[in-house]
């Protein structure tokens, strides 16, 4: 499990893959490689983060050709990873294990937003309640240029609450993160701006706080 924060939150998913690969090579880890004309390290990452969104509990699988102790692996990677990326914990996996992408079904987020005018707690709670009472919440997503598509994200919003803190509005949400019915955090931001009636203004500070199996947001993916 690793953290992606600070300047690293602006790395693309491809840049993140390269950062882990470079760190592993510099650390001298015995990486397993794919077969074929262009072999590359066997690594898998769960649910790519959007650029600009921080992650507090992200997951990656790295296959090795020789065993390395979890604490040693974490230390070696941390000594070579760029600022903002840090391995919090490493654990060995059994020889046969489902892919990370197939396991992840939900993600939790916190979102901090400014407001054009002072907003009270009652107003925030009323706005969130009104949003969740909608049968459909339609947002536009960019498709193949120059086309856009409209999607209903309401089925993929499992939980949403809000509070006022230090002049900011802070939201907590649990969203669908899967191949079908996926709800991105920018979808939720668009819905909040469009439907909530709250005078929200950017920039928005977004953090993904957990990734979960299907069956409840109370347990983080893998660390059960």
Cβ neighbours around 223 below 10 Å, total: 12
For residue 221, the model assigns a pLDDT of 56
pTM over 0.75: yes
CA gap 172, 206 in Å, rounded: 10
Domains and CATH numbers, the chain: 2-102 (3.30.70.580), 104-212 (3.30.70)
Cα pseudo-dihedral 189, 190, 192, 196, rounded to 10: 170
Please give, one letter per residue, the 3-state secondary structure of 58-113: ECEEECECCCCCHHHHHHHHHCCCCCCEEECCCCCCCCCCCCHHHHCCEEEEEEEE
What would the mean pLDDT of 55-74 be, rounded to a whole number? 94
CA gap 49, 148 in Å, rounded: 21
Asked if pLDDT for residue 209 goes beyond 80, the answer is: yes
What would the mean pLDDT of 126-143 be, rounded to a whole number? 91
> Using only C-alpha atoms, what is the Rg of the chain?
19
Asked if pLDDT for residue 218 goes beyond 80, the answer is: no
| Residue among 144, 115, 146, 131 nearest 191 (CA) | 131
Strand bridging mode 54-58 / 200-212: parallel
CA distances from 51 to 15, 42, 56, 146, 154 (A): 10, 23, 14, 21, 23
Asked if pLDDT for residue 146 goes beyond 90, the answer is: no
For residue 145, the model assigns a pLDDT of 65
For residue 167, the model assigns a pLDDT of 86
Burial of 95 (0-12, 13-18, 19+ CB in 10 A): exposed
Contact at 8 Å (CB) between 23 and 80? yes
- At residue 224 the predicted structure's pLDDT band, cuts being 50, 70 and 90, is very low
- At residue 216 the predicted structure's pLDDT band, cuts being 50, 70 and 90, is low
Span 69-124, pLDDT tens digits = 999 999 999 999 999 999 999 999 887 778 888 888 999 999 999 999 999 999 99
Q: What angle do CA 101, 217, 99 make, to 5 degrees?
A: 15
CA distances from 142 to 56, 117, 159, 186, 216 (A): 27, 31, 25, 12, 30
CA gap 146, 127 in Å, rounded: 33
CA gap 46, 32 in Å, rounded: 19
Q: Give the tokens for residue 191.
A: 């819905």
Span 13-42, pLDDT tens digits = 999 999 999 999 999 999 999 988 888 899
Contacts of 50 (CB under 8 A, 6+ apart): 184, 185, 186, 206
């Amino acid at each position: 499990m690793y953290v992606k924060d600070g300047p690293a939150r602006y790395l693309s998913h491809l840049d993140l893959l390269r950062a882990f690969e470079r760190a592993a090579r510099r650390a001298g880890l015995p990486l397993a490689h794919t077969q074929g004309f262009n072999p590359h390290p066997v690594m898998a990452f769960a649910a790519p983060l959007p650029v600009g969104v921080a992650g507090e509990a992200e997951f990656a699988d790295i296959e090795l050709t020789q065993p390395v102790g979890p604490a040693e692996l974490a230390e070696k990677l941390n000594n070579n990873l760029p600022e903002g990326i840090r391995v919090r914990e490493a654990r060995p996996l059994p020889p046969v294990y489902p892919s990370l992408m197939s396991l992840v079904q939900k993600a939790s987020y916190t979102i901090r937003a400014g407001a054009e005018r002072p907003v009270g707690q009652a107003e925030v709670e009323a706005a969130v309640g009104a949003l969740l009472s909608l049968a459909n919440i339609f947002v536009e997503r960019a498709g193949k240029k120059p086309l856009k598509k409209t999607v209903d994200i309401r089925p993929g919003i499992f939980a949403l609450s809000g509070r006022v803190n230090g002049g900011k509005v802070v939201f907590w949400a649990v969203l669908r993160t899967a191949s079908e019915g996926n709800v991105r955090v920018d979808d939720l931001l668009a819905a909040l701006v469009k439907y909530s009636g709250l005078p929200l203004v950017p920039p928005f500070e977004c953090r993904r706080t957990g990734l979960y199996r299907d069956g409840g947001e109370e347990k983080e993916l893998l660390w059960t």
